[in-house]
């Protein structure tokens, strides 16, 4: 227990040292890189996952294909993909591609399940009041699927934030830099410091999604979301 306390104290010293807060190796710069990589990947993944999930869920076709693809994508080791593509083309793009591949499955599966699970009576009612396909999707299916969709986005966001640390291995910075450097130098303080920052970022992401849920989900639906 004493040892643990020592470690906490060490990483606190590291986190609060003023030298950590300036320059290209400083926390703000690394944090910005990390958020930038994660944000771009999540945005691309959201576009792909939402489009495919809404399409498959709305039409009721291609669902099996979508789920299978998502499962295959889940199986691809991000680590292998990153290093492989970096060998071919040394740039940040491969890392982003790998993160997108990681983030699409939860978004896609949850969107599909969410839209498919919408009460058929509600869809009938939407048609009954004169809505067309788009209207049903936009005014009935999407809002009702929103709790599950947000859950998928949150899962992806947290995975991406935690996995973006891998970007540091081939040398693209981000908060993983501290963890990889600490590992290489046997500097434990650095590893824990970097970890604390990543976890803090992930917690902020959780809070943002909790807030979003309150803001955008219809109050009548809250409490019905089911994680998957």
Partner 1 sequence: MDIDWAWIADHRDSLTEHALVHLRLALLPVLFGLLIALPLGVLCRRWGWLYPPALTIANILYAVPSLALFMIFIQYTGLTASTVMIPLTLYSLSVLIPNVVDGLASVSEPVRQAATAMGFGTLRRLMQVELPIAVPVVIAGTRVAAVSSISLVAVGQLIGQGGLGYDIIRGYQLQFQTQIVAATVLIVLLALVTDAILVTVQRLLTPWARARGGAS
Closer residue to partner 1 (CB): 146 or 162: 162
Q: What is the nearest approach in angstroms of partner 1 to the Cβ of residue 135?
A: 27
Residue 79's H or E segment, with its range, is: helix 78-88
Q: What is the nearest approach in angstroms of partner 1 to the Cβ of residue 164?
A: 8
Residues lying near partner 1 in the complex (CB under 8 A) are found at: 3, 67, 71-72, 74-81, 83-84, 86-88, 109, 113, 158, 161-163, 165-166, 169-170, 176, 179-180, 182-183, 188, 191-192, 194-195, 198-199, 202-203, 205-206, 226-228
Closer residue to partner 1 (CB): 147 or 182: 182
Q: What is the nearest approach in angstroms of partner 1 to the Cβ of residue 127?
A: 25
Phi, psi of 33, rounded to the nearest 5 degrees:
-55, -45
111: exposed, middle or buried (C-beta count within 10 Å: 0-12, 13-18, 19+)?
Answer: buried
Q: What is the nearest approach in angstroms of partner 1 to the Cβ of residue 62?
A: 14
Q: What is the nearest approach in angstroms of partner 1 to the Cβ of residue 155?
A: 9
CB-based contact 91:37 (threshold 8 Å): no
Closer residue to partner 1 (CB): 125 or 208: 208
H helix count then E strand count, the chain: 10, 0
What is residue 60's DSSP assignment? -
What is residue 18's DSSP assignment? G
> Biggest alpha carbon distance in the chain?
68
Query: Tokens 């009935």 identify what position?
Result: 140
Q: Is 26 helix (H, G, I), strand (E, B) or coil?
A: coil
Contacts of 8 (CB under 8 A, 6+ apart): none
Closer residue to partner 1 (CB): 97 or 183: 183
Closer residue to partner 1 (CB): 44 or 78: 78
């Amino acid at each position: 227990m004493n040892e643990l306390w020592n470690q906490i104290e060490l990483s606190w010293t590291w986190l609060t040292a003023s030298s950590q807060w300036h320059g290209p190796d400083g926390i703000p710069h690394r944090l910005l890189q990390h958020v930038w990589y994660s944000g771009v990947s999540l945005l691309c993944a959201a576009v792909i996952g939402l489009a495919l999930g809404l399409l498959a869920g709305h039409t009721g076709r291609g669902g099996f294909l979508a789920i299978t693809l998502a499962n295959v994508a889940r199986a691809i080791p991000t680590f292998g993909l990153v290093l492989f593509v970096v060998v071919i083309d040394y740039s940040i793009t491969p890392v982003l591609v790998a993160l997108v591949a990681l983030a699409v499955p939860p978004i896609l599966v949850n969107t599909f399940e969410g839209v498919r699970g919408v009460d058929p009576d509600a869809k009938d009612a939407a048609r009954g009041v004169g809505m067309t396909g788009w209207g049903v999707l936009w005014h009935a299916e999407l809002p009702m699927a929103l709790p599950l969709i947000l859950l998928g986005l949150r899962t992806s966001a947290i995975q991406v934030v935690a996995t973006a640390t891998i970007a540091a291995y081939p040398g693209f910075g981000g908060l993983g830099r501290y963890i990889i450097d600490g590992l290489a130098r046997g500097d434990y303080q650095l590893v824990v410091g970097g970890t604390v920052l990543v976890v803090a970022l992930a917690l902020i992401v959780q809070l943002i999604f909790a807030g979003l849920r309150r803001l955008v989900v219809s109050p009548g639906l809250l409490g019905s979301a089911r994680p998957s």
